[in-house]
Structure 1
Amino acid sequence: MARITLAITGSIAAYKTVDLVSSLKKQGHSVTVLMTQAATAFIQPLTLQVLSQNTVHLDVMQEPFPDQVNHIQIGKETDLFIVVPATANTIAKLAHGFADNMVTSTALALPDNIPKLLAPAMNTKMFTHPATQSNLKTLESYGYEIISPKESLLACGDFGSGALADLEIIIERIKETLNEQTL
């Protein structure tokens, strides 16, 4: 099965990645989890480590193996890179080539042939803001496929587009992307 690198950023929707990791593992995939510091405020790395049966990577400066650069090696050992949930902050960093955390450094170091998916989750105003929309278009031009958020009541109490897509949709997009890679 596939080696999937799941990048989790600091959104309340991060809790949904527990079910995502569990589902991907049940399908036989290997899942490597990367987290931003903000993501750890919403979900504990240990939870994801137990479910993925892999080390959760938090710090780009932590190099567990002296003979390799961790964020480079992770990119070399993945068949699919996905950011769930993708915050406006991380989207902006990815669009502009920032490499200041484990998620952005690994993304920037990915080989060109690795498929990249991104599932935004944020407040409606943040999602529809011209800067975010421009950053998403930039990422599409870099080869990212965007899994559109759904319209829903958001955690902040607003209603609109910005809620993380349903996990079934995310999982289906992962399957489709992996199938395309094997053709």
Structure 2
Amino acid sequence: MATITLAVTGSISAYKAADLVSQLGKYGHQVHVLMTESAQAFITPLTLQVLSKHPVHLDTMEEPDPAKVNHIQLAKETDLFLVAPASANALAKLANGLADNIVTATALALPPTTPKLLAPAMNTNMYLHPATQKNLETLHDYGYQLVSPRESILACGDRGVGALAEIPAILESVKEILDLA
């Protein structure tokens, strides 16, 4: 099966990454998890390490093997780069080519042919903001595909679009992309 690099960014939906990692593993995929500092406020790396059976990558400067640059090696080994949840901040950084954390550095190092999938999760106003929409357009132009957020009552109490897509919808998008690859 495939090697999926799952990037978890700062959103209340980060807790759903545990189910996503578990389900991907049940399909036989190898899952390597990257987490931003903000994501770690919502779910612990240990949870995702136990479920993925791999170390969770937290810091661009951490180099477990001195013979390899970690984020470059991760990018080379990735069959699918999945950002779920993708926060507004992560989308902005990815769209503008920033590489200031393990997620964005690995994303920038991906070979151009590596499939990339985004599953945004944020407040409705943040999602609909012209800057976020522009960032999504830019990322589409860079080859990123999108699993659209759904409408729901959000963690903040607002109702609207911005909730992370359901895990089965994300898994279906992963399957479709990998079937084409």
Q: What's the counterpart of residue 22 of structure 1?
A: 22
Provide the rounded CA distance (Å) in 2 between the counterparts of 1:162 and 1:177.
23
Provide the rounded CA distance (Å) in 2 between the counterparts of 1:8 and 1:36.
7
How far the C-alpha of 1:176 sits from its partner, in A, is 0.4
Provide the rounded CA distance (Å) in 2 between the counterparts of 1:24 and 1:148.
19
Q: What's the counterpart of residue 44 of structure 2?
A: 44
Q: What's the counterpart of residue 76 of structure 1?
A: 76
Q: What's the counterpart of residue 150 of structure 2?
A: 150
Which blocks of at least 5 consecutive residues in structure 2 are unaligned? none
Provide the rounded CA distance (Å) in 2 between the counterparts of 1:160 and 1:108.
31
Provide the rounded CA distance (Å) in 2 between the counterparts of 1:111 and 1:142.
12
Provide the rounded CA distance (Å) in 1 between the counterparts of 2:162 and 2:45.
24
**SS at the partner of 1:134?**
helix
Provide the rounded CA distance (Å) in 1 between the counterparts of 2:50 and 2:122.
27
- In structure 1, give the amino acid aligned to 2:66: P
- TM-score (normalizing by structure 2): 1.00
How far the C-alpha of 1:99 sits from its partner, in A, is 0.2
1:95-110 paired onto structure 2 within 5 Å: 95-110=95-110
Which blocks of at least 5 consecutive residues in structure 1 are unaligned? none
Provide the rounded CA distance (Å) in 2 between the counterparts of 1:92 and 1:107.
13
**What do residues 121-146 of structure 1 show as CA deviations (whole Å, max 9, x unaligned)?**
00000000000000000000000001
- In structure 2, give the amino acid aligned to 1:146: L
Cα RMSD of the aligned pairs, angstroms, is 0.3
**SS at the partner of 2:72?**
helix
Q: What's the counterpart of residue 57 of structure 1?
A: 57
Provide the rounded CA distance (Å) in 2 between the counterparts of 1:78 and 1:136.
22
Q: What's the counterpart of residue 168 of structure 1?
A: 168
How far the C-alpha of 1:102 sits from its partner, in A, is 0.1
Provide the rounded CA distance (Å) in 2 between the counterparts of 1:82 and 1:22.
14
- In structure 1, give the amino acid aligned to 2:19: D
**What do residues 35-90 of structure 1 show as CA deviations (whole Å, max 9, x unaligned)?**
00000000000000000000100000000100010000000001000000000000
**SS at the partner of 1:7?**
strand
Provide the rounded CA distance (Å) in 1 between the counterparts of 2:42 and 2:7.
14
**SS at the partner of 1:18?**
helix
- In structure 1, give the amino acid aligned to 2:164: L
Provide the rounded CA distance (Å) in 1 between the counterparts of 2:168 and 2:25.
15
1:114-129 paired onto structure 2 within 5 Å: 114-129=114-129
Q: What's the counterpart of residue 12 of structure 1?
A: 12
